Amino acid sequence: MSLPNRRFTSGGEFDVLVIGGGIVGAGVARDASMRGLRTMLVEQADFASGTSSRSSRLLHGGIRYLAQGRIGLVREASVEKMRLHDVAPHLASPLPFVFPAWQGCGWPRWKLAIGVRLYDLLCGRISGGSEGLSRDQVLARAPGLREVGLTGGVRYFDALTNDARLVLDTLHSAEDAGANVANYVRFVGCSDAGATRRCELLDTLTGEPFTVTARSVVDAAGAWAGGLQRSSVRLRLTKGVHLVIDRGRLPVADAVVLPEGDRILFVIPWGERAIIGTTDTDFSGNPEDVTSGEDDVAYLLRAVNSAFPAARITGADLVSTWAGVRPLIAPRHGRAGAPSDLSRSHQIRMSEPGWFDIAGGKLTTYRLMAERTVDRVCEHLRGNWRSCTTAATPLRTPAAAQFSSILPPAFGPEAVEFYCRREWVVHLDDVLLRRTSWHFYEKNAGQLALYTAHWMAEWLGWDAKRAGSELRRYSEQFCRLEIQDSIRRRL
């Protein structure tokens, strides 16, 4: 059982210290501990609180990368998609995609037909194979789609996931293998101490500093990686915004791909809701301050209303929004190009002996990124380490996955108690945003926050003052994540 009221003492000795509790850091901690390395992971905020809870919630090879000639990246991601379906079937649900073709849109039907056949060859089949669709078949699967110029389309399969739950289940697996994982612990810095590093950490819940020694350090801090003193990472940050609406407003049976110039957007069925996304624009500033701006929301609304003209989706239809930052590898030479042209490949470097930077990549390839990183760590440390088995070892048993699924669990005290007692919960928003997604899914999330705070107070021993401060903290987080009411009314 993982309890939130933990305390740390100085003097711990580890083979590897992982900085960052997003999906890549979680994957590294799982792989390293399963190979027998003494492993500690620290995250300055809550697990998955950055990019890893703000994705499109897809496991995919990236069909648009075929048009860019990135066959290796598509193949790599496609193999990993299949592996995740094997080791975490509760978090990898096959999802059909309909890709319409309109005259003059740049994605003709014949080109799509060739593309999805190649996609099948590269991907394997997580469910059914791809197929061509007539105009009437497209309209049957995507009611209300713009008919003018529609020539038909194709249908192919990827998978829907729950990004934050994938992080948490990966961390459970790491802990089960012996890793020490801690949220709300900040990496302050490190100094050499012979063959090891003396690492200074700060428990942000108590304000108490402590130190550990580590024979190696893995910088998996994502969008924050470049800010670490010894990091060699050069990133270009881009912003992705998603909208959530009632699925009744866009009653699609499958996910729908919407071509937007050289980019593509998605309408993704998510239980009783639909996710519309995503933007891809440059971002500068603190990744903690990323928000869904008026221009971002307007862009997505224009795109979806152009594809579904009768829907007339407005800001008043929004259940929620979220925004995240992609930590992409900055190009070394030449012009930067459009954000959507940047490679989603990853990069692993040992910038100095024992310090490893892992950056770039995508949610789907996190396990492979972790495997390659730990390979490098083991090579540096030497020793008789076990082989990597993460591609064949389930993340959770069916019983343990009771409160881990793609859709939010039913609202109630049983779920809240489970997360408080077993999933490193510290704050109210830990439960509402990342453990459950109730904040994004439920229309009355603010009211549900009152009940959740009451239950958390019982199980975590909060007094009325603490419960009140948690509700204020959540309200501030809510305002930062959501578009303002004034913007909602204008759109």
Residue 66 has a pLDDT of 79
For 6, the token pair is: 């933990």
Q: Does residue 194 carry a pLDDT above 90? A: no
Digit-coded pLDDT (tens) for 287-304: 999 999 999 999 999 999
Digit-coded pLDDT (tens) for 435-475: 999 999 999 998 999 999 999 999 999 999 999 999 999 98
Residue 342 has a pLDDT of 55
- Residue 11's pLDDT band (boundaries 50, 70, 90)? confident
User: How much of the chain, in percent, has pLDDT values that exceed 90?
Assistant: 73
Q: Does residue 5 carry a pLDDT above 60? A: no
* Mean pLDDT along residues 5-12: 69
Residue 226 has a pLDDT of 79
Digit-coded pLDDT (tens) for 379-400: 999 999 999 999 999 997 666 6
Answer CATH for 96-159+236-331 from 3.30.300.130, 3.30.9.10, 3.20.20.70, 1.10.486.10: 3.30.9.10
Which range is least confidently modeled, 216-225, 235-244, 257-266, 371-380?
Answer: 257-266
Q: Would you tell me the crossing angle of helices 366-381 and 23-34 to the nearest 10 degrees?
A: 50
Digit-coded pLDDT (tens) for 472-488: 999 887 766 665 565 56
Give the pTM: 0.94
Residue of higher predicted confidence among 53 and 104:
53
CB atoms within 10 A of CB 232: 17
- Residue 3's pLDDT band (boundaries 50, 70, 90)? very low
At the topology level, CATH places domain 12-51+164-234+341-381 in FAD/NAD(P)-binding domain (3.50.50)
Digit-coded pLDDT (tens) for 62-121: 887 777 777 878 888 889 999 999 999 999 999 999 999 999 887 889 989 988 888 888
Residue 1 has a pLDDT of 35
Q: Does residue 335 carry a pLDDT above 60? A: no
Residues written for the chain: 491
Q: Does residue 124 carry a pLDDT above 80? A: no
Residue 104 has a pLDDT of 86
* Mean pLDDT along residues 257-272: 92
Name the average pLDDT for the chain: 90
* Mean pLDDT along residues 227-243: 89
Q: Does residue 16 carry a pLDDT above 90? A: yes
Residue 239 has a pLDDT of 96
* Mean pLDDT along residues 194-214: 93
Residue of higher predicted confidence among 87 and 61:
87
Q: Does residue 340 carry a pLDDT above 60? A: no
Digit-coded pLDDT (tens) for 154-175: 999 999 999 999 999 999 999 9
Q: Enumerate the domain spans of the chain.
A: 12-51+164-234+341-381, 96-159+236-331, 413-490
* Mean pLDDT along residues 366-370: 97
Whether the Cβ atoms of residue 403 and residue 411 lie closer than 8 Å to each other: no
* Mean pLDDT along residues 149-154: 96
Residue 329 has a pLDDT of 86
Letter for the amino acid at 65? Y
